[in-house]
Amino acid sequence: MNKYKYISLVLFTTFVMGVAFPVGKVGLSYSTPFFLMGIRFALAGAVLAVIVRRKPQPSSWAMWGKAALIGLLQSAGVMGCAYYSMHWISSGESAIITCTNPLVVIVLGTLFAGAKYRGRQWFGVVLGFIGVVITFGLQMNFQPGTWIGFLGAVFFAGSTLLIKRWGTGFDMNVLAAYQMLAGGIALLVLGAATEHPYFAFTSTSVIVLLWLVIMGSIVQFSLWFYLLRSGDPAKTSAFLFLVPVFGLLSSWLLLGEKVAWYAGLGGACICAGIFLVNWERRGSSAGRMAQVRELR
């Protein structure tokens, strides 16, 4: 993929992910967390499944199982943990923990996929994580929600590596559709078992739900899966450090939340971390290709 196209798509996708935080926060005024996320992903998956019905479908029960497992990790696991963790911690802290995913990707990729990463890339991921913490004002408390949120980051990393490993056997839009549908159904069941689910129909709640379904799910997941399959998952995931930054800025624009001075410092650390993870010296293309092959 052309690098300018890649950068443009990954920036747009992470921007959409970031905006989902304030939009979702508005939505929680009209529904319970698991039920809202369940409706979001079930509707998005069903709509996208209809759109891609003429594309190659999973050809075996094993492929259906792979799509369902990715959905349980990506849609149900990540979002379920992120929203459930907010019983103890703030949405900002939840975003910080969830976006440690790139670090977890490198750890899991090294341990289980045989991937090789340079010390510079490890340093870049750690620097990016430090930047995310700075962006939110160094206000993290280790409570039960902290560990639940981190479990969501592990789910996110696991689904990232599985998409890279299994994604070549799927049409990416088909995979995005069925994983969202599986995750949405799981969240609806979880909501029915643990909440008193409701959804208050107003013009605002409907707009929020439509945005979450169309932009925050169908567009976001289709692009994200395409990017993961097209490049190194660790490098692509490194851009997730931008999600809390975009979330902070969009919260300021949409909700009137103030942006502190340390957000600029944190943003600089995040950009530096992304550069270190993605920067390759001249003549290292062979190493990049070998690294990608190791993940397949």
Per residue in 233-274, pLDDT (tens digit) is: 767 777 877 887 888 788 888 877 776 677 678 778 877 887
Least confident residue range of 9-18, 33-42, 126-135: 126-135
- Comparing 19-23, 177-181, 281-285, the range with the smallest average pLDDT is 281-285
* Between 170 and 210, the higher pLDDT residue: 210
- Per domain, the residue ranges of the chain are 3-295
Which pTM value belongs to this model? 0.77
* Per-residue pLDDT at 148 exceeds 90: no
Output 46 or 107, whichever has higher pLDDT. Answer: 46
10 to 114, 224, 234, 271: CA distances (angstroms): 25, 8, 13, 14
Higher pLDDT, residue 93 or 172: 172
CB neighbours of residue 138 within 10 Å = 10
**Tell me, what's the pLDDT at 18?**
85
Phi (first) and psi of residue 228, to 5 degrees: -65, -40
SS3 at position 171: coil
What confidence tier does 140 reach under pLDDT thresholds 50, 70, 90?
low
* Whole-angstrom distance, CA of residue 108 vs CA of residue 271: 23
Percent with pLDDT over 90 in the chain: 27
Residue 152 has pLDDT above 80, yes or no: yes
Average pLDDT over residues 13-32: 88
With H, G, I as helix, E, B as strand and everything else as coil, classify residue 200. Answer: coil
Residue 183, pLDDT above cutoff 90: yes
Instruction: For residues 127-135, give the mean pLDDT.
Output: 79
Residue 137: the pLDDT is 65
Confidence of residue 186 (pLDDT cuts 50, 70, 90): very high
What percentage of the chain reaches a pLDDT higher than 70?
87
Cα–Cα distance list, 78 to 73, 112, 155, 159, 260 (Å): 6, 20, 6, 9, 28
